[in-house]
Amino acid sequence: MQGLIQPYPLTTTAILEYGNRVFHHKRIITYLPDGTRHAYTFGEMYLRCKQLANALRNTLGVGRGDMVGTFAWNHGPHVELYYGVSGMGAVCHTINIRLSSNQIEYIINHSEDKVIFVDATLVPLLEKIANQLETVEHYVLINAPADFSTTLPNTLHYEDLLAEQPDEYDWPEIDENEACGMCYTSGTTGLPKGVLYSHRSTYLHALTIMTPNAGNLSSQDIALLVVPQFHVMAWGYPYVCVMAGADMVMPSSNLQPAALVDILQRERVTRANGVPTIWLGIYHELKKNPPAEKLALREYVVGGSALPKSLIAGFERDFGIRGVHAWGMTETSPLGTLSRIQSKHASLSDDEQLTIRAKQGIAFPGIELRVVSEDGTPVPRDGQTMGELQIRGAWVINAYFKTLNKESFTADGWFRTGDVSTIDEDSYMEIKDRTKDLIKSGGEWISSVALESALMAHPGVKEAAVVAIPDDKWVERPLASVVLLEGAGRVTPEDLMDFLSPNFVSYQIPRDFVFLKDVPKTSVGKFDKKEIRRRHAAGELV
Ligand code: ADP
């Protein structure tokens, strides 16, 4: 028997309409690349989304299902693009500005973007490849002065484009399963692959991230969105904030630790997100220049790579700010799990609670996880047995855009993450590694993530990345690339080995260390292990 409930479509427009109706006075505050501050309300943003939808249809000839690219930092107009493009039935394709020119060219041609909205400061990156772009009919310049000069063809200015349009627009009826956005994976394992999000998946992901067991956002909050909008719909926060009525603070390219701390202070930000490297930078900035007044920041959510336990502990001890660990992938919209302790953990010691919080956490309602052994059978949920992490759920990819990749899916409909993990009795998942990053030494598996987190707990270590290098005797052995903190004094490999020895058995402990100024990073700020492995491909240590 069918239920007797209205088939109300879960669309991004439903989020926008709600935000405008209930929270029209809430603010979007942008720090532009030149440091100037711009603030306006959800109500004003709403009208501009309608102007944008008119411009897309009337001036740019964009229709239902067309791809509209964005090549931009986090700011008000980028939020308008999230809602305006998908609201009129087109697909908002966020392009990762930090990829290589070849990858960007590949992505734009593969997705068949019809228009690209580009920040003035990022125009040179597109100018280099514009001749190779086969489908782009117009480039719309955001935050560009009137006399801006560019070799890009068919350019328009965003503000001019909007100014000539009415702010009345009848949103079309959209089936909640239609595509609203697209993001390509960052191509750490081959060519980038397109992931096409639906209105429904975006709505459900946002609704979930808003809840207390997840991101816990409400109209009491002022949220700093550090995760770049060009990556995985910036973890849903541009939708969550509008749903929750939280003010949104957008840093655009002001991502240096000192600039972020300044924004946190000035705007009295209460919640934020970002990858671990951002929060590591902020932590050391706060240590170096302690703020005169206690920050209003209560919590920051971290995902993308492992959040070291030592960083969670340090932030809490020194500044009373809670780090919350989350896990996800481009293919999972992206958030799949998040780690908070529960009431039953209240009697555990601080360290035991930290150990739980340093895990990647519990799957959200609407998401299921399983860990399977090499023969495909689920392993025990004992927190010990490792295997491949598989996922299914309401915002998990079903197929890649125009790419088969059958090997990414199991016959019974689960997505294979390529992560190696455990799940414990209480359903907390812990990432041990990516399949290709695991180190197999003398027939035993070594988790590079565990070694990295442990090394980063050393008081003299800022960053540590561990990869496998070839070894005649053991096939592979771990190599640690380490960045020392300024003023750390002398830290030797022996010091680090001693530091690791209480928590690792001897074969797991790296004997080889290289000390660097900076660990190479990927386009989304993770340790670039492919690059590190390339440097040491023949086992050499320089
Ligand atoms: P890409 O796959 O292109 O690197 P994603 O942003 O989709 O880009 O990365 C997803 C991967 O990042 C996951 O499969 C996992 O290996 C890693 N990851 C994400 N969050 C965490 C986390 N909290 N801890 C450890 N690894 C993480």
Q: How many CB atoms lie within 10 A of CB 413?
A: 10
Point out the domain boundary residue: 401, 436, 471.
Answer: 436
CA of 457 to the centre of ligand 1 (A): 21
Q: Are residues 202 and 334 in the same domain?
A: no
Contact 361, 214 (CB under 8 A): no
Give residue 522 CA to ligand 1 midpoint distance, Å: 11
331 belongs to the catalytic site:
yes
* Residues 514 and 533 grouped into a single domain: yes
Active site residue 121: no
CA of 511 to the centre of ligand 1 (A): 27
Cross-sheet strand order for the sheet of 512-516: 461-471, 475-484, 512-516
Please say which residue of 238, 255, 272 terminates a domain. Answer: 255
69 shares a domain with 193: yes
Amino acid in the structure at residue 437: D
- Phi and psi at 140, nearest 5°, equal -110, 120
In which domain, by residue range, is 137 found?
27-255
Q: CA-to-CA distance for 49 and 44, rounded, in angstroms?
A: 9
Q: Tell whether 76 is covered by a domain.
A: yes
Q: Please confirm, yes or no, whether 164 is among the known catalytic residues.
A: no
Shared domain check, 249 and 138:
yes
Q: Please count the other Cβ atoms lying within 10 Å of the Cβ belonging to residue 165.
A: 19
Query: Among the options 185, 208, 277, 337, which is catalytic?
Result: 185
Return per-residue pLDDT of the chain as tens, 542 residues.
999 999 999 999 999 999 999 999 999 999 999 999 999 999 999 999 999 999 999 999 999 999 999 999 999 999 999 999 999 999 999 999 999 899 999 999 999 999 999 999 999 999 999 999 999 999 999 999 999 999 999 999 999 999 999 999 999 999 999 999 999 998 666 789 999 999 999 999 999 999 999 999 999 999 999 999 999 999 999 999 999 999 999 999 999 999 999 999 999 999 999 999 999 999 999 999 999 999 999 999 999 999 999 999 999 999 999 999 999 999 999 999 999 999 999 999 999 999 999 999 999 999 999 999 999 999 999 999 999 999 999 999 999 999 888 999 999 999 999 999 999 999 999 999 888 888 888 777 888 988 999 999 999 999 999 999 988 878 888 999 999 998 888 999 999 999 998 888 888 899 999 999 999 998 888 899 889 998 888 777 76
Mutate which of 197, 305, 359, 416 for ligand 1 pocket (most atoms within 8 A of beta carbon): 305
Domains contained in the chain, number: 3
Q: Which residue lies with its CA nearest to atom 1 of ligand 1?
A: 186
Same domain, 427 and 465: no
Domain CATH for 52: 3.40.50.12780
Q: What is the CATH number of the domain that holds 482?
A: 3.30.300.30
In a domain, 278, yes or no: no
Q: Which atom of ligand 1 is nearest to the CA of 232?
A: 6
Probe target for ligand 1 pocket from 185, 325, 327, with the most ligand atoms within 8 Å of CB? 327
Name the catalytic one among 436, 445, 492, 540: 445
The answer on 207 and 99 residing in a single domain is: yes
Pocket test for ligand 1, best of 419, 435, 447, 524 (most atoms within 8 A of CB): 419
Task: Look up 128 and say whether it is catalytic.
Answer: no
Same domain, 409 and 443: no
Q: Is 230 in the pocket of ligand 1 (CB under 6 A)?
A: no
